[in-house]
Chain A
Amino acid sequence: MYAYTDFDRQFVRARAAQFRDQLQRNLSGELADDDFKPLRLQNGWYVQRHAPMLRVAVPYGEINARQLHQLAVIAREFDQGWGHFTTRQNLQYNWIPLPKAADVMDKLAAVDMHGIQTSGNCIRNITSDALAGIAADETVDPRPYAEVMRQWSTLHPEFAFLPRKFKIAITGAAEDRAAIGWHDVGLRVLKNDAGEVGFSVLVGGGMGRTPIIGTQIRAFLPWDQILCYLEAIVRVYNRYGRRDNAYKARIKILVKAEGQKYFDAVEEEFQRILKEDVGGAVQLIPQAEFDRINASFQRPAGVVPVGTAAAPAAAEGAPLAYQRWLQRNVHAHQVAGYAAVTLSLKRAGQAPGDVTADQMDAAANLSTRHSHGELRVTHDQNLLLPWVKQADLPALFEAAQAASFATPNIGLITDMINCPGGDFCALANARSIPVAAAITERFADLDEVYDIGDIDLHISGCINSCGHHHSGHIGVLGVDKDGSEWYQVSLAGSDGSTLSGEATPGKVIGPSFAAEEVPDVIEAVVDTYRAHRTAGERFIDTVRRIGLPPFKAAADAQRHLTAVR
């Protein structure tokens, strides 16, 4: 992973000192709460139901054991002993009192971490494929490019107060595990016929109230031009994006309204940056700078191919639990004899993505023992060990089991994406954790979960869509009606993966349901799939083949508290 330089380290310390100054002015009354808000947001500090929430950046999901141990220390000393991993590969605390905020930022800076641009109307933490640099299906490792863009976007003086938040996702693999179509800018790094590296650039995707999939603005942008091109994209947005209505302020609305005009404006701006601006063309990335950054992303010393590129297989007579874990939680790797292993954070009794301080330490220890001290935070709120020797898998399985990380459910119905919802989040219209808990309880039988097979269940507590309900095969959205919690259910959404098909928002299957009805509705929808599927057909394919009406009818039959209008 990226190794901080003296400059990087000094930079996050300076940011922590700057934040301490702002916090002190706020606490002393010099800096009013309303003026402080956008400043603290850009350091990851929200004000939530119980206490401020801190969102810590995990750049493109890469974290090491030392950092995770430090997050555990912060959880114990400043929080109530918890953390929550998010769909944007970050970590959130929910119980830290604001007067302690600056101390926490110092603790983070001590391990090269921060909360810079994890919130606010700025370029957010860049997300990527959790298997970046290790995926068997990868064309180009996206991480060095993600790091170059992280540096470029960090405290960019012109783009700190955009019309709305701005999210960039990048992948370099055949399979899209970063949902790039759903981002303000989605990048696929690839090679052209001449073997040169460049980007396919999508712009104008996003969730929220108006779900839109990004449109390709460039099929192949040479890699060294990416910073100038991003500057053009963001500058046109900063100048002409709507600011009169927060729900219409994302770049997707500008791109949709202007279409080709927006694309033309970006291309013209890009050319002018390169040809006319002082400080324009100097942003073309020199090969030497790429090499410097790329050096951080070499395989850890000692990771060398072992044997053949065969997938790990369980020995004859191995326990079913181990076989299942191999099947669901262990993934193919670029390096023969190695595997990537997901530590499932989806288990009964804990909210999806939640970890205790002890579990953070346990995961960090597993990474030290089995993965060169490196971990990834996945887009679906799990942890992943990127450098596991296949020979170590039995030992890792046992250790992961002991630490509660071995639920063999990756990609299955209980591996759901779930935002913190109304229990914590001040924006939420409804709670999402109890819904997730009820569904987890309903699908406690692993045999049944395996029979249902691959399925993306995504739950958001409000239209801000942190739980990515739009992209779920089954999406659940919390809505508020007359002060009580209701849930809209949608079907056939896709994040853009091969399994799920072209990225698309799901379709709502009728009026919202009462909280108590939701597990019944999910079960009825799943049962409808099982009744209609052909041999080996996955949930999403059955839904697409037979259409929504049978599912809607089954869901409506579960309405005990809500009448069908």
Chain B
Amino acid sequence: MKFIDTHHDTWHTALGEDGPQPHPTAAANLLLTLEQWHAVRDTWPAGLAVGVSLANTVDIETLEADLPRLGLIALHFPKFVDGRAYSQAHLLRARYRYTGQLRATGDVLVDMLPLLQRTGFDAVLLRHDQKRESAERALGFFAGHYQGDVQQPLPAFARDVGAELAAKRQLDADAAAGQGI
């Protein structure tokens, strides 16, 4: 999981004085709104990295043809209890085979990390008051899960969960030993 630091982010929004520029000039690593992307899509140079921010009400289906051109999709959590973006993420990865960065933005809390990771997010912009250390710890509690997910498409009944348990125990033992030094 990549933790985004807004001060050192390679991606930039195209904001004018009155909000998003209606027709931004093509440049590398622009993170556009969906409206901006629609405005420039037909003229955007092939191979120039571009990203899109989506509201959680957007039907991913409508973006299918554009996906190979996108290097970043930012999905939004207006409130952390609004889980629509998990379904968007799952569809992007599991159905449309999107391979670019998938970033969670908005009300992103430490305790969402396991869900984000499992539905296909690989980058998060944590809410300002959240601790990265706690977020990393939140990813480490479970050896495996029952149902498959984007990271591990096989459900438990199709995996060797015994080996997963052993690996997790080894990891925990190593961590405990490391703390003792």
Binding site for B on A (CB under 8 A): 5-7, 10-11, 14-15, 17-18, 21-22, 25, 30-31, 35, 38-39, 121, 151-162, 227, 235, 238-239, 243, 272, 276-280, 282-283, 285-286, 289, 292
Q: Is B83 touching A238 in the complex (CB atoms < 8 A)?
A: yes
| A279-B153 in contact given A6-B165, A7-B144, A14-B142 (Cβ < 8 Å) | yes
| A44→B53 CA distance, assembly (Å) | 35
| A22-B146 in contact given A157-B118, A159-B83, A162-B83 (Cβ < 8 Å) | no
Nearest-Cβ distance from residue B108 to partner chain A, whole angstroms = 11
Residues of chain B with a CB closer than 8 A to A157's CB: 86, 114-115, 118-119, 145, 147, 149
> Nearest CB to that of B145 among chain A residues?
A155
Q: Is B84 touching A239 in the complex (CB atoms < 8 A)?
A: yes
Nearest-Cβ distance from residue A276 to partner chain B, whole angstroms = 5
Nearest-Cβ distance from residue B13 to partner chain A, whole angstroms = 26
| Stretch of B17-25, B32-40, B88-96 with 4 or more beta carbons under 8 angstroms from chain A | B88-96
Nearest-Cβ distance from residue A25 to partner chain B, whole angstroms = 6
Interface members, chain B 133-149 (any A CB < 8 Å): 134, 137-138, 141-149
Residues of chain B with a CB closer than 8 A to A152's CB: 146-147, 155
> Nearest CB to that of A156 among chain B residues?
B147
Nearest-Cβ distance from residue B172 to partner chain A, whole angstroms = 10
Nearest-Cβ distance from residue B140 to partner chain A, whole angstroms = 9
Q: Is A280 touching B94 in the complex (CB atoms < 8 A)?
A: yes
- Known contacts A11-B142, A157-B115; 12 additional CB pairs below 8 A are A151-B146, A158-B87, A235-B87, A238-B84, A238-B87, A272-B95, A276-B95, A277-B94, A279-B149, A279-B150, A282-B153, A283-B147
Partner of B83, one of A153, A155, A160: A160
Residues of chain B with a CB closer than 8 A to A285's CB: 157
Q: Is A14 touching B141 in the complex (CB atoms < 8 A)?
A: yes
Residues of chain B with a CB closer than 8 A to A151's CB: 146-147, 156
Nearest-Cβ distance from residue A152 to partner chain B, whole angstroms = 5
20 A–B contacts from the bound complex (CB under 8 Å): A5-B161, A7-B162, A7-B164, A7-B165, A11-B145, A15-B142, A21-B134, A39-B111, A155-B146, A156-B147, A157-B119, A158-B83, A158-B86, A158-B90, A161-B86, A235-B90, A238-B87, A278-B153, A285-B157, A286-B157
Q: Is B83 touching A283 in the complex (CB atoms < 8 A)?
A: no
**B81: interface (CB < 8 Å):** yes
Q: Is A30 touching B131 in the complex (CB atoms < 8 A)?
A: yes
Q: Is B119 touching A21 in the complex (CB atoms < 8 A)?
A: no
> Nearest CB to that of A236 among chain B residues?
B87
Nearest-Cβ distance from residue A490 to partner chain B, whole angstroms = 33
Residues of chain A with a CB closer than 8 A to B162's CB: 6-7
| A279-B94 in contact given A10-B143, A289-B157 (Cβ < 8 Å) | yes
| A336→B14 CA distance, assembly (Å) | 76
| A77→B137 CA distance, assembly (Å) | 31
Nearest-Cβ distance from residue A123 to partner chain B, whole angstroms = 11
| A131→B82 CA distance, assembly (Å) | 38
Nearest-Cβ distance from residue A174 to partner chain B, whole angstroms = 30
Question: Please, how many residues of chain B have a CB less than 8 angstroms from a CB on the other chain?
Answer: 44
| A160→B111 CA distance, assembly (Å) | 12
Q: Is A154 touching B138 in the complex (CB atoms < 8 A)?
A: no
| A369→B3 CA distance, assembly (Å) | 57
Residues of chain B with a CB closer than 8 A to A272's CB: 95
| A14-B86 in contact given A21-B138, A279-B94 (Cβ < 8 Å) | no
Interface members, chain B 107-133 (any A CB < 8 Å): 109-111, 114-115, 118-119, 131
Q: Main secondary structure on chain B at its contact with chain A?
A: helix
Q: Is B81 touching A161 in the complex (CB atoms < 8 A)?
A: yes
Residues of chain A with a CB closer than 8 A to B143's CB: 7, 10-11, 14
Residues of chain B with a CB closer than 8 A to A38's CB: 80-81
> Nearest CB to that of A122 among chain B residues?
B83
**9 tightest Cβ-Cβ pairs between the two chains A and B:** A161-B83, A279-B153, A157-B118, A289-B157, A151-B146, A18-B141, A279-B148, A7-B161, A157-B115
**B154: interface (CB < 8 Å):** yes
| A335→B90 CA distance, assembly (Å) | 47
Nearest-Cβ distance from residue A300 to partner chain B, whole angstroms = 25
Q: Is A21 touching B137 in the complex (CB atoms < 8 A)?
A: yes
Residues of chain B with a CB closer than 8 A to A11's CB: 142-143, 145-146
| A7-B80 in contact given A30-B131, A272-B95 (Cβ < 8 Å) | no
| A528→B141 CA distance, assembly (Å) | 60
| A283-B138 in contact given A158-B119, A161-B81, A239-B87 (Cβ < 8 Å) | no
> Nearest CB to that of B97 among chain A residues?
A278
> Nearest CB to that of A38 among chain B residues?
B81
| A263→B119 CA distance, assembly (Å) | 25
**B158: interface (CB < 8 Å):** yes
Residues of chain A with a CB closer than 8 A to B155's CB: 152, 227, 282-283
| A18→B115 CA distance, assembly (Å) | 13
| A289→B119 CA distance, assembly (Å) | 24
Binary contact readout B57-69 vs A (1 if CB under 8 angstroms, 0 otherwise): 0000000000000
Nearest-Cβ distance from residue B60 to partner chain A, whole angstroms = 9
Q: Is B148 touching A282 in the complex (CB atoms < 8 A)?
A: yes
| A238-B95 in contact given A151-B147, A283-B155 (Cβ < 8 Å) | no
| A347→B114 CA distance, assembly (Å) | 46
Residues of chain A with a CB closer than 8 A to B165's CB: 6-7, 10
> Nearest CB to that of A6 among chain B residues?
B165
> Nearest CB to that of B93 among chain A residues?
A278
| A17→B158 CA distance, assembly (Å) | 26
Partner of B94, one of A7, A159, A278, A292: A278
